[in-house]
């Protein structure tokens, strides 16, 4: 029967000491061994199929090498991609990530463990208010907040997207096409990230005195958005020429509302979303939207937690977002 390779086997294959193998595979090699030596150790480990004894390592370090990722919901593709990014970086450092959907959405999250301090090394929370994590903050575990209010105290590190710039890009695009009558189909979820969207839209339109916008709130569901958009498109007065939606799910509902009213997209009404979910290219025409690097958010979040655990300064700066122009936006139809 084939025996599992040991760190001694890796050291022999790489021509280094077991201590060097431990440093490299424990990601503690920087400043102690050369990058070339680290590459040799990693290559030897791969060729031998070596896997470190994580249980023994945890006992030595006094850590479980496990992070908790708290998200508002599992049904949203954005959070699945955040998890994928966090898990990828975690795996590179022999960490595991436990995914925990808050039972109350963006509301106060309950501690999912009787003793979180014993079960976890740290917590990453995506798109939630810091005070919603009070139960987990009370454990004294390091907390990294993703897509959250930078003014809130508490977390050891933050990773944010440049949400305001995304809204500016959408608004500038539509203004450049000639649109001046807007509906903002706004998420009814009370969270920082959606509040930023509303403020950024108001700021962007302030420089166009002939532009007008009506804000219509909606639950984050296609049918709710269809009803809200339908009401906005049939309200008294001149019909809006463009709908700016806080989320691609809301945009999908807006597109359904337009079609049910016999309106053509983008000939009669332009629709823009936010997030660039897979849904954006399933619609016809495909949706103009803002692409958010969700996996990079998860990667940066896990990297920030590792930095905090190792006493290093996490990387700073908001992650950039990008407008993706597709077929759902065009210049407004000429006035009759």
Instruction: Give the pLDDT confidence of 230-251 residue by residue, as tens digits.
Output: 999 999 999 999 999 999 999 9
Q: How far apart are the first and last CA of the chain?
A: 83
The reported pTM is 0.76
- Flag the least confident range among 13-17, 97-101, 108-112, 259-263: 108-112
Domain ranges of the chain: 7-52, 61-160+294-317, 163-291
Q: Which secondary structure element, helix H or strand E, spans residue 174, and what is its range?
A: helix 163-177
Nearest to 163 by CA among 52, 301, 60, 292: 292
Task: Identify the pLDDT of residue 103.
Answer: 55
- Interval 47-65 mean pLDDT: 59
CB count, 10 Å around CB of 191? Answer: 18
Per-residue confidence at 194, pLDDT binned at 50, 70, 90?
very high
CATH number of the 163-291 domain: 3.40.50.2300
For all residues of the chain together, what is the average pLDDT?
Answer: 86
pLDDT at 1: 43
Top-confidence residue, 208 or 224: 224
Domains 61-160+294-317 and 163-291 share a fold: yes
pLDDT by residue (tens digit) across 260-271? 999 999 999 999
Is domain 7-52 annotated with CATH 1.10.260?
yes
CATH number for 61-160+294-317 (one of 1.10.3720.10, 3.40.1080.10, 3.40.50.2300, 3.40.50.720): it is 3.40.50.2300
Cβ 251 vs Cβ 271: under 8 Å: yes
Rounded to whole angstroms, the Cα distance separating 333 from 331 reads 7
Mean per-residue pLDDT for 114-135?
67
Q: What is the pLDDT of residue 155?
A: 85
């Amino acid at each position: 029967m084939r025996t599992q390779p040991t760190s001694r086997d890796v050291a022999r294959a790489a021509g280094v000491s077991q201590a060097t193998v431990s440093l490299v595979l424990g990601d503690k090699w920087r400043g102690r061994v050369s990058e070339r030596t680290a590459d040799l150790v990693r290559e030897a480990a791969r060729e031998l199929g070596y896997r470190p004894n994580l249980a023994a390592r945890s006992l030595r370090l006094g850590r479980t090498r496990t992070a908790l990722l708290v998200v508002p919901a599992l049904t949203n593709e954005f959070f699945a991609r955040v998890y994928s990014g966090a898990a990828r970086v975690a795996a590179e450092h022999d960490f595991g990530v436990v995914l925990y959907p808050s039972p109350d959405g963006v509301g106060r999250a309950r501690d999912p463990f009787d003793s979180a301090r014993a079960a976890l090394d740290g917590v990453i929370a995506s798109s939630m208010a810091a005070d919603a994590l009070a139960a987990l903050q009370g454990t004294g575990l390091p907390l990294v907040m993703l897509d959250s209010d930078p003014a809130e105290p508490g977390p050891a590190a933050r990773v944010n997207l440049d949400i305001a710039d995304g809204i500016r890009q959408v608004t500038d695009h539509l203004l450049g096409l000639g649109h001046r009558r807007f509906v903002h189909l706004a998420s009814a979820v009370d969270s920082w990230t959606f509040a930023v969207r509303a403020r950024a839209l108001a700021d962007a339109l302030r420089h166009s005195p002939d532009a007008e916008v009506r804000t219509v709130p909606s639950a984050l569901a296609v049918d709710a958005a269809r009803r809200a958009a339908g009401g906005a498109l049939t309200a008294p007065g001149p019909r809006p020429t463009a709908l700016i939606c806080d989320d691609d799910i809301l945009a999908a509902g807006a597109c359904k509302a337009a079609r049910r009213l016999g309106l053509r997209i983008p000939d009669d009404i332009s629709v823009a979303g936010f997030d660039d979910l897979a849904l954006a290219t399933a619609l016809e025409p495909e949706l103009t939207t803002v692409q958010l690097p969700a996996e990079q958010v998860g990667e940066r979040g896990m990297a920030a937690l590792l930095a905090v655990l190792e006493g290093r300064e996490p990387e700073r700066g908001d992650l950039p977002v990008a407008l993706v122009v597709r077929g759902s936006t065009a210049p407004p139809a000429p006035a009759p």
